[in-house]
Amino acid sequence: MRWLSLHIGGQRWAVELVSPRSKYLLVDGEPCDGVSHYDLCRICLNRDLPPQALEETLLHELLHAANHVAGASHVLDEALPKRAYDVEEHWVRTITPVLHRLLKDLGFRFPKGPSTDA
C-alpha cells in the first residue's frame, strides 16, 4: 500500500507499506524491515512495525536513498570497491538513531503510519 510520495534530489520516490513476508523486503534472501529499491525509486517498509520502529526504518531507508541519489554510494564504491556496501550500511545504521533523536528534538514530526485499528 502506497503510504508516501516524496522527492529525493529531484526524483519522485514512493514509500510503500508491505507485508512482512513480501518479496520486496528480501535482501540476499534474508527478510528486512525496510528496503530501498533504487531502480524503482521505491522504499518498502514492513507494515507491521510499531510506530517508533517505523520512523527509524523510514529514516534509515531515506538515508540510503539520499546517498544513492546524491552519488555518495558511487563515491564509496570508487574508494572502497569491495567494501562500499558494508561501509555505507554501517554509516546509515550508526547515524540513524542519532539523527532520529535530533530531528525529534527540533520538533520534526514523522508522518503517522496508517492505523491498524479495526
Domain hosting residue 48, numbered range: 2-105
pLDDT value for 115: 62
d(CA 65, CA 69): 6
Please report whether residue 45 resides in a domain: yes
Q: What is the pLDDT of residues 52-90, one digit of tens each?
A: 999 999 999 999 999 999 999 999 999 999 999 999 999
Which CATH number goes with the domain that contains 27? Answer: 1.10.10
- Per the domain annotation, does 116 fall within a domain? no
Angle 84-105/72-79 helices, nearest 10 degrees?
A: 140
Q: Is residue 113 part of a domain?
A: no
Residue in 10, 40, 9 with CA at minimum distance from that of residue 18 = 40
Q: State the total domains in the chain.
A: 1
| pTM assigned to the model | 0.93
Domain contains 57: yes
Whole-angstrom distance, CA of residue 73 vs CA of residue 9: 14
